[in-house]
Amino acid sequence: MDYGTFQGVYTLILMAIFISIIAWAYSKRQKSSFNEAANLVFADESVHSDSLNGEQKNTSARI
């Protein structure tokens, strides 16, 4: 097996991996978990605002 054949096989393996990842990402089975992950940012706002209020109270107590 010469170097050119090795490069061709390596390219085909990487292309198959790439196509597999694309198929996995766009599969309908993954849509619900991706939507849930996308909305995690918005679910964390109340926790973040509570922690900010607590930090503001703590800084005002130090003054």
28-60 tens-digit pLDDT: 888 888 889 888 888 866 666 666 666 655 555
Rounded to whole angstroms, how far apart are CA atoms 35 and 43? 12
pLDDT of residue 9: 97
Burial 26-61 (b: 16+ CB within 10 A, else e): eeeeeeeeeeeeeeeeeeeeeeeeeeeeeeeeeeee
pTM of the model: 0.54
Tell me the residue type at 21. Answer: I
**Between 14 and 52, residue with greater pLDDT:** 14
pLDDT of residue 38: 86
**Between 9 and 61, residue with greater pLDDT:** 9
Instruction: Tell whether the model's pLDDT for residue 16 goes beyond 80.
Output: yes
